[in-house]
Structure 1
Amino acid sequence: MSTVTFVTGNANKLKEVIAILSGSQSEGGESKVGNFTIVNKSLDLDELQGSIEEVTIHKAKSAAEILGGPVLVEDTCLGFTAFNDLPGPYIKWFVKSVGLQGLVDMLYKFEDKSAKAICTFGYCEGPGKPVQLFQGITKGSIVESRGPTNFGWDSIFQPDGFDKTYAELDKEIKNSISHRFRALDKLRDFLVSQ
């Protein structure tokens, strides 16, 4: 059994990833997928400016160098169609700078409130190894904040085909349709095939 370190300091993200990957969590926060045990470590990694793919590859290579072994990293984007997919990989900084209402207000004068939630996982076997990317996309719209506001921008993103925001959806439903689920589904297939 090989160990892969999922690098995140976000407790909500960790819970969601473990729930989606294996449907359960051990006392130590580990998850088993195929011949792999996924463990967690929080690292403060530099975030390169660029596309989500470039950001994810850079994070995965950096984490593999620091930890000296197999790593898994994730980067999430929220792209507004009216803004040619910005804020994109900079969504975390937009939320910190202008808040959720500020994001909603940015689209005030635009009729098109559509958006894409994009999640990209990067897996790297170790220092100097190539990075495998696994990406998932969920289309939706930006709406006034509804539901809990404790997980990023979930309360302002309403996925297509639903009348609730990510924040309002039951976790089981969200975890079966989200951008993160779609990326992790591809990652799980990869890990099981190894």
Structure 2
Amino acid sequence: MSVKDIVFVTGNANKLKEVKMILSSESSKFNLINEPLDLEEIQDIDLESIAMAKCKQAANILGPNTPVFVEDTALVFDEFNGLPGAYIKWFVKSMGLAKIVKMLDSFENKSAKAITTIAFADGKGGFHIFQGITEGKIVDSRGPTTFGWDSIFEPNEASGKTYAEMEKVDKNEISQRGRAFAKLKGFLATEFN
């Protein structure tokens, strides 16, 4: 059986590196190609709607027979009823990590959820959603600040470490991205068998 090309649409080099690491065991079944397409992101709080809209755009650009996926990650604060959610990237860019942490100063509840939503177009006309969630809390920044908000999110399962303080392999085991991609891997294993 020939190896199938699958396109991952992202312009984020760190995210691409992490996804390649997560999907590495399936790499013999398909060839992961990166396309940094500039896709329009709809403004919504529904994470599945955002990912699906981007995936449909990508499928239109790349052609109907091209398997392609997009990934969208959100950070939701329990006290803010799901915000900043999908807007976290813009909060980080405009406010910085310290001010994001400060937003929760007057609240006792610092609980948060990291959510990754993957929308996959299978190249046969079907669209599929895979989602991973990791619960944790917002803390003062600890560890390298080179990957989004990793240094302010402490997962409940991380023995007191932020994502940024964890080894990548350990992070991928419990992260929302690792969980979402585990579901995609399972799907691809049957799809490309």
Equivalent in 36, 47, 53 of residue 52 of structure 1: 47
Which residues of 2 match residues 1-194 of structure 1 at below 5 A?
Answer: 1-22=3-24, 32=27, 35-50=29-44, 51-68=46-63, 69-126=66-123, 129-161=125-157, 162-194=159-191
Q: CA deviation at 1:52?
A: 0.8
| 1:125 to partner: Cα distance | 2.5
Distance 1:149 1:72 in 2: 27
More displaced 10-residue stretch of structure 1: 14-23 or 72-81: 14-23
1:97 positional shift: 1.4
Give the TM-score normalised by the residue count of structure 2: 0.92
* Alignment partners' CA distance in 1, 2:135 and 2:53: 26
Equivalent position SS for 1:167: helix
Counterparts of 1:131 and 1:80 in 2: how far apart (Å)?
A: 29
Distance in 2 (alpha carbons) for counterparts of 1:99 and 1:114? 19
User: Does the 8 A contact of 1:65 with 1:126 survive in 2?
Assistant: no
Q: Distance in 1 between matches of 2:54 and 2:42?
A: 8
Unaligned runs of 5+ in 1: 24-30
Aligned with 2:163: secondary structure? coil
CA distance in 2, matches of 1:130, 1:84: 32
Shift of 1:47: 0.3
Structure 1 residue identity aligned to 2:41? E
Question: CA–CA distance in 2 between the matches of 1:72 and 1:147?
Answer: 30
Q: CA deviation at 1:37?
A: 1.7
The 4+ residue runs of structure 1 with deviation greater than 4 A are none
AA in 1 matched with 2:156: D
Question: Alignment partner of 1:108: what SS?
Answer: coil
Superposed CA RMSD? 1.3
Whole-angstrom distance in 2 between the partners of 1:36 and 1:171: 23
TM-score under structure 1 length normalisation:
0.92
